[in-house]
Amino acid sequence: MMRPIFRVARATFHEAWRRRFLNGILIFAILIIGSSWVFAYLQPGAELQMIIDIGLGSIRFFGMLIAVFLGTRLIPDEIERRTVHTILAKPVSRAQFVFGKFLGGVATIAVNLVVMGIAFYIVFAIKAPQFAAAKPEDALIFAAMYSNIAKAIVLAFFEVWLVLGIAVVASTLFSWVLSVIVTFVIYFVGQMADFFQQLSDPERGASKLAQILLGTLYRVLPHFEIFDIREAILQGTYTPWSTLLQIIGQGLAYLVVILLIGYLVFNEREV
Amino acid sequence: MAIRTDNLSKIYSHDATGRPVGLIDLSLAVEEGQIFGLLGPNGSGKTTTLKLLLGLIFSTSGSGQIFGHPLGSNATKERIGFLPEGPYFYEHLNGMELLSFYGTLFGMGGSRLAGRVEELLHLVGMWDRRFIRVRDYSRGMRQRVGAAQAMINDPDLLFLDELTSGLDPIGAMEMHELILRLRDQGKTIFLCSHLLKDMEPLCDRVVILDRGEMCQSGVVEDLLRVENQYRLLLSNCSDELTQQLQASAQRTEAVDDQLAAYYTDQSAALAAAQQAAAAGAVIEALGAHHRTLEEVFIEAVGGEK
């Protein structure tokens, strides 16, 4: 049951590293993260904030870019190159194939995020103590940052995997260009899910139609903003693991539904 | 029964005359242990048939079974092998890794898989090139390793689409020998090709498709046999002899610089041979006339048109 999934995932992982755009995005991300301390000097007194904003922001943004461009190519490339024919002619179900492709993408993104995370940690470990030393009152906040940054990176993993899932499913439904656009739109609109809830509030004068439309968007769209805990990190607020697990749980639940849709679509698709 | 289809159809669209485009009402019965040829020109519906049988696409109507199981089921896939036309594989793998990859999809592993991979690479003449990556393969090498991956699970039924495509004459001959050997081992071979000449010595039974429809089917020997026709092939014919033979034979035709004369009566053919020999011509061949698959095909398609 699981073996074909892992074999497809492994092949997908190895194939993914041959995609030049992926390597390009990773190198560019490392350059941005690596130079974040230079930008920190642009905002005297808020250097730490700049490093964290640029570092974590880059991990999330470039991770999302990789997820979109990788996810929307995983299955279409197999169909266009006809490698899917020899695989599906073997005892590999379409569900195993879709899940294997997704898992291969998950592993590829994980490695990318780990590399970006290490780059960020190196910059943070070298530069942050210098900036923190200048503001002794922030010492406690600074101490909490290391663990909160780790948590932020863990959340970035799940956020980007969710984007990957959406990209894979979009690619089974639409052409490549359209699936890229759809994934980007869902991602950016999903960042504003809470905003839709506020707009649909009748006490704020929302019409009946606006309540239905915006309320539906709020319920249907993934809430990507929950994965962003940069504010908590900057304020040094303690982010408990229970909160983290709750966020991860929400992401995984959404992912399961997304992959199920992907399977149902691909199961009917002719290759 | 290895394969059975009943009125299997796949309609993609309709042409300007309203005629369906795709595969129309194909009913097949392929016995186990046969080499079965699905023949026809490009666009006749061969690949569509193959994809339907493999469960890669879905029929518009009709049904099919392989070894009694529904098309595309895992129970079917366990017992079949498939070589697509102009096969594509993961470019980063070498020959050995490629076969191992496909083997693991069947749950194979360890020494059993390693042994099978080695055996197949030897069989298709790729053992010495086992570490070359697929991206550096020639068309012929892809075809060879493609045939090997199709056999990784020691299948009972092999689907081979344009088997000799990209192979040089020696490679093609080796593949033909391999097919015959597999048939002798009791395997069923389902060949798709537009190269009728290549298929003629291989196939036990054939179905000829044209524009999505079956236009001829049967045992190859029966299809090629022509009742009551004898052929006399001569070289070094004088003009006078040629005129005499044209008058006495059912029909004559020039074959390169030779003359072929056809008779419905065996004694008439023998008499003509004696006459030709007396006139100084060289008798190249004399015997019952067999058609070629190409002739059968042209006759079938011509009749349809």
Rounded mean pLDDT for each run of 10 residues along chain A, 271 residues in total: 91 90 93 87 79 92 96 95 95 95 97 95 85 68 78 93 96 95 94 83 82 85 87 78 90 94 93 91
Task: Encode pLDDT of A54-80 as tens digits.
Answer: 999 999 999 999 999 999 999 999 999
Query: A81 and B78: CB-CB below 8 Å?
Result: no
| Tokens 């033979």 found at | B245
Residues of chain B with CATH 3.30.70: 226-304
Q: pLDDT: is A171 or B297 the higher one?
A: A171
- Whether residues B84 and A91 touch (CB distance < 8 A) is answered with no
pLDDT in tens, B61-79: 999 999 999 999 999 999 9
Instruction: Answer yes or no: are the C-beta atoms of B210 and B301 closer than 8 Å.
Output: yes
Domain with CATH 3.40.50.300 in chain B: 3-222
CATH code for B226-304?
A: 3.30.70
Determine how many CB atoms are found less than 10 A away from the CB of residue B214.
Answer: 21
What pLDDT score was predicted for residue B303? 54
Q: What percent of chain B has pLDDT over 70?
A: 99
* DSSP conformation class of B265: S
Structure tokens at A163: 């984007």
Closest CB to B105 among A7, A82, A271: A7
Contact: A86, B74; criterion CB under 8 Å:
no
Q: Minimal Cα–Cα distance from B82 to chain A, Å?
A: 7
- Whether A89 and chain B come into contact, CB under 8 Å, resolves to yes
Q: What is the pTM of this model?
A: 0.86
Which fold does the domain B3-222 belong to in CATH? Answer: Rossmann fold (3.40.50)
* Set of chain B residues whose Cβ sits within 8 Å of the Cβ of A270: 51, 56-58
Residue A112 is predicted with a pLDDT of 96
Q: Is the pLDDT of residue B119 over 80?
A: yes
Average model confidence (pLDDT) for chain B?
Answer: 92
Whether residue A90 and residue B92 make contact (CB cut-off 8 A), yes or no, is no
DSSP string computed for B2-55:
-EEEEEEEEEEEE-TTS-EEEEEEEEEEE-TT-EEEEE-STTSSHHHHHHHHHT
Any A CB within 8 A of B106 CB? yes
* Backbone phi and psi for residue A59, each to the nearest 5 degrees, phi listed first: -60, -45
Q: What is the ipTM of this complex?
A: 0.84
Residue A262 DSSP label:
H
pLDDT class of B305 with cuts at 50, 70, 90: very low
What pLDDT, on a 0 to 100 scale, did the predictor assign at position A160? 96
Considering its fold, how many domains does chain A have in total? 1
Q: Do B56 and A89 touch (CB under 8 A)?
A: yes
Above 50 in pLDDT, residue B289? yes
Structural domain for A184, as ranges? 2-267
Q: Is B107 on the interface with A (CB under 8 A)?
A: yes
Specify the pairing of strand B225-235 against strand B282-290. antiparallel
